[in-house]
Amino acid sequence: MAYRETEKMRERKARARQNIIERTWECVAEGGFRSARITRIAGLAGVATGTIYRHFESREDLFAEIFRLATQREVDKVAEALNVYGNAVERLDNALRKFAQRALKGPMKAWALIAEPVDPKVEEERLVYRKAYASLFEQAIRDGIAEGCIPDQNARLASTCLVGAISESLVGPLSPTQTDIPPGQDNNEDELVNTIVCFCIRGLTGTRS
């Protein structure tokens, strides 16, 4: 008898898997899921295409995992930003700002997570993601209504509007075919974030900033 899987081997495999995940996310950040080719991912990861299939059942499964990991990160950040000291409006303002800033830092990623059409297994993950956001914002809106700093309204729909306004405003203008915004114009970006967040908060509260 011979080869038995050893700890060292397990680790090496885990590292390889992790590496594939990271390279894939790089690809996605570059052109979305659709254009992330297995061959390219394998190339970046420095392995053969077949190797990908030793670690993941299929392309779709790989993507689903990537998606899950990435969205978890995003949702956590927003939850964190929603957890600062202050009233509901201030906390929402903070969270929206964080959301917008993160999306702007990686517009392609944001697009892939929010709007890119994806295969069923990935779409399933997206549903979870949407729900996670919706719940976070919805709860904050309810808090605000209870505190009296937000007028009574349908918190669920309002939270959808929030996500919609912010994500499209960011993803739309900054999606794939966009070359006319010179990079490094933080000025522009700051104004964009401000305008969007103001719009959202006003939409919610009905009061001028």
Partner DNA sequence: ACAAAGAATGAACCATGATTCACTACTTGT
Partner DNA sequence: ACAAGTAGTGAATCATGGTTCATTCTTTGT
Binding site for its own copies (CB under 8 A): 32, 34, 115-117, 120, 123, 127, 130, 151, 153-154, 157-158, 160-161, 163-170, 172-173, 175-177, 191-192, 195-196, 198-200, 202-209
Residue 45 or 108 having the CB closest to its own copies: 108
Return the residue of 18, 22, 48, 172 that touches DNA, per CB under 7 A: 48
Residue 52 or 166 having the CB closest to its own copies: 166
Token output for 149? 């700093």
* Least distance in angstroms from the C-beta of 47 to DNA: 3
Return the residue of 29, 44, 47, 115 that touches DNA, per CB under 7 A: 47
* Least distance in angstroms from the C-beta of 62 to its own copies: 20
Contact 107, 170 (CB under 8 A): yes
Alpha helices, DSSP H only, in 56-208?
A: 59-81, 88-105, 107-114, 120-147, 155-174, 186-205
Distance from the Cα of residue 177 to its chain's centroid: 20
Distance from the Cα of residue 117 to its chain's centroid: 14
Q: How far apart are CA 197 and CA 93, in angstroms?
A: 7
Alpha helices, DSSP H only, in 56-106?
A: 59-81, 88-105
Count residues binding DNA (CB under 7 A).
27
Residue 39 or 209 having the CB closest to DNA: 39
Range 4-23, binding DNA (CB under 7 A): 4-6, 8-9, 12-13, 16
Residue 61 or 119 having the CB closest to its own copies: 119
49 binds DNA (CB under 7 A): yes
Residue 9 or 69 having the CB closest to DNA: 9
Please report, for residues 103, 128, 167, 195, the alpha-carbon distance to residue 160 in angstroms, rounded to integers and kept in the order given.
17, 14, 10, 18
Residue 47 or 115 having the CB closest to DNA: 47
- The sign of the torsion formed by the CA atoms of 165, 168, 172, 174 equals positive
Q: What is the identity of the amino acid at 172?
A: G
In the complex, which residues of this chain contact DNA (CB under 7 A)? 1-6, 8-9, 12-13, 16, 36-39, 46-51, 53-55, 58-60
